[in-house]
Amino acid sequence: MKIRTWLFLSLLFVMVIPSLAVYSLYTLLTNWNEQQSLDEYLDFISTYREIKEPLQNPDLYTFHPTIHESLQETIEHVAQITLYRNDGYVVYETTSDTIGTRQAELRDLYDGLYEGNMTYRYFTIKEPVFVDEEIVGFYEVSMQRDDRVEYVQSRSTSILVLSAALFFLTGLLVWFQINRRINKPIKYLKNDMNEFVLRPKKMTTLAHPKNDEIGDLIKHFNYMKQEVVHAREEILREQKEKEMITAALSHDLKTPLTSVMAYTESMQQRPLTKSETDHYLTIIRNKSIQMQRLIEDIHTFTLLKNQQSVEQKVAVNGQEFFEMLVDGYDELASQHEINLQKEVKTFDSFDVQVNHMMRLVDNLVSNAIRYTPPTGKLYIGIYDQQLPSWLYKPIDVNFSTHGVLIVQNEGATISEKESKKIFEAFYQSEESRTKKAGQHSGLGLSVAKMITENHGGDIQFIPVPNKGTILMSTFVKRKDYDEKNVDE
């Protein structure tokens, strides 16, 4: 239940429940009062009939105090009596010793004759006294309602006490619920926030069982904490990557740059034969190409990592484009005495970033050539319908939506465990560290992975013991193939 709904119901509860309780007590008291009034009225009528006969004596309505002494003995303990003469003068009153000094208005005397009048404290009735059909006086009889007054007073006190107790208990219950549903969760949230600020590495998830606004707030706070932790981890990771880029760049540039400087100094310090000069220049050129490639790898990695690549995808004919990409590796393979086999069988078109796709193929092929022994076999294939027969092991490709680039080479491979890390930036296997140190940056496969993902595909490094390695990269086919929109 939402807090706003719960607060509304609580307010309604605080307003209605005490009111209903007071109303119930009031109704109970009223019903009792009606019943009690009826009983008291019947008792009054019965008592009045008993004392009515003595009051009919006409001598009582004269100024003779001795005549009234009998009333004091027989009637005063039952009721209060006031006797009026026919002209309105009071001749006797049980509550006063003064006689003949007060005169009532005749209009008041005649008003309400024979009518029983019930007030909070008294039952009162007034009647005339006749002699030979002439009024000689009036009498007014009043009886106290002592039981009712006592009951009402006690019940009024009880109602006030019960009402106060009910209001107090209701307020206490509402306060307890507010404290349980609002104050405590907010306090826990505040403490968790302080804990997170003081100990950001200690990640805790604050639980709240209610599906209300506080629960939503806690969920958002937990989500915010996760985002902050991830952001911190990302910042630390990027900072570490920057440090690794700087270290890798300085380290990997140091060796070829030292060679270039050494051979340059040699050419300046002594005369060289033509064959020596050509040899030195070849070394300088190769080292310069190595440094250029290293810088390009770092530049491409940085652009892809920060998603700053502005190269647009263009539609290409798969067969023509990929034949162009794999062309040119024959000479390089021949230099390393590697048997190269190439095959392109594509029938669809693709949306590609041309320069990035060229870098992808170059990185995968260069990596394969690096670890292929002399006289070993190297396979390069691009397919969008069916896999080749020369694969060391079957691989899974969804040809309905993707094409695949496969680079397979003979030679020593790495373990399955190490293959899980091969696409991490600056990661170099033990083979590369020991035998090929300084010849590459450790960014080639990481760059290849980012390029593959930018083309909607997936890249895998598959070691096949005692045979070699399979590198496969998939890329999405163009959905709406139109020959007119494909680069020739």
Same domain, 53 and 140: yes
In a domain, 290, yes or no: yes
pTM for the model: 0.51
In a domain, 204, yes or no: no
Residue 188: pLDDT over 80? no
Which range has highest mean pLDDT (12-16, 434-438, 470-474)?
A: 470-474
Q: For residue 307, what pLDDT is reported?
A: 65
Same domain, 333 and 288: no
Tokens matching residue 209: 């069982």
Which phi and psi angles does 403 have, rounded to 5°? -105, 175
Q: What is the per-residue burial (b if ≥16 Cβ within 10 Å, else e) of 382-404?
A: bbbeebeeebbeeeebeeeebbb
In a domain, 187, yes or no: no
**Cβ(130)–Cβ(136) below 8 Å:** yes
Same domain, 220 and 116: no
CA–CA separation, 96 and 45 (whole Å): 25
Same domain, 460 and 317: yes
**Mean pLDDT lowest among 87-96, 98-107, 276-285:** 98-107
CATH number at residue 318: 3.30.565.10
**Mean pLDDT lowest among 81-85, 161-165, 376-380:** 161-165
Same domain, 258 and 336: no
Same domain, 219 and 336: no
Residue 377: pLDDT over 50? yes
In a domain, 70, yes or no: yes
Same domain, 25 and 111: yes
Q: Which residues pair with 90 in a beta bridge?
A: 84
Angle at which helix 184-198 crosses helix 213-269, to 10 degrees, equals 10
Above pLDDT 90, what percent of the chain? 16
* Domain end (from 299, 324, 347): 299
Q: For residue 125, what pLDDT is reported?
A: 85
In a domain, 431, yes or no: yes
Query: Using one digit for the tens of pLDDT, what is the confidence trace for 289-325?
Result: 878 877 877 777 777 776 655 578 899 998 999 999 8
Q: For residue 439, what pLDDT is reported?
A: 52
* Residue length of the chain: 488
CA–CA separation, 58 and 263 (whole Å): 159
Q: For residue 1, what pLDDT is reported?
A: 53
Q: For residue 251, what pLDDT is reported?
A: 67
Cα-Cα-Cα-Cα dihedral sign, residues 17, 19, 23, 29: positive
According to DSSP, residue 373 is labeled P
Q: For residue 74, what pLDDT is reported?
A: 64
Residue with the larger pLDDT of the pair 39 and 477: 477
How many structural domains is the chain composed of? 3
143's CB contacts (< 8 A; 6+ apart) are: 44, 47, 48, 78, 79, 80, 122, 123, 124
Residue 336: pLDDT over 60? yes
CATH number at residue 267: 1.10.287.130
Tokens matching residue 406: 């496969």
Domain that holds residue 8: 3-150
Residue 235: pLDDT over 80? yes
Helices first, then strands: H and E counts in the chain:
13, 12
Cα-Cα-Cα-Cα dihedral sign, residues 313, 314, 316, 320: negative
**Cβ(129)–Cβ(56) below 8 Å:** yes
C-alpha closest to that of 345 among 323, 312, 362, 364: 323
Side chain identity, residue 72:
Q
Same domain, 294 and 351: no
CATH number at residue 126: 3.30.450.20
Cα 24 from chain centre: 44
Task: Tell me the pLDDT band of 487, cut-offs 50, 70 and 90.
Answer: very low
Same domain, 294 and 316: no
Task: Tell me the pLDDT band of 344, cut-offs 50, 70 and 90.
Answer: very high
Same domain, 7 and 114: yes
Say whether 196 sits in a helix, a strand or coil. Answer: helix
* Domain end (from 150, 168, 193): 150
194's CB contacts (< 8 A; 6+ apart) are: none
Residue 432: pLDDT over 50? no
Write the burial class of residue 447 (CB in 10 Å: 0-12 exposed, 13-18 middle, 19+ buried).
buried
**Mean pLDDT lowest among 9-18, 134-143, 424-433, 454-463:** 424-433
Query: Using one digit for the tens of pLDDT, what is the confidence trace for 191-220?
Result: 777 777 777 666 677 666 667 677 777 777
Same domain, 218 and 247: yes
Query: Using one digit for the tens of pLDDT, what is the confidence trace for 48-92?
Result: 777 788 888 888 888 777 777 766 666 656 678 888 888 888 888
Say whether 13 sits in a helix, a strand or coil. Answer: helix
In a domain, 157, yes or no: no
Residue 7: pLDDT over 80? no
Mean of pLDDT values over 10-37: 71
Q: For residue 374, what pLDDT is reported?
A: 92
Same domain, 327 and 420: yes
In a domain, 395, yes or no: yes
Q: For residue 61, what pLDDT is reported?
A: 81
Residue 373: pLDDT over 70? yes
Q: For residue 434, what pLDDT is reported?
A: 35
Residue with the larger pLDDT of the pair 394 and 163: 394
In a domain, 192, yes or no: no
* Domain end (from 264, 299, 334): 299
Q: For residue 112, what pLDDT is reported?
A: 83
Tokens matching residue 432: 């590369």
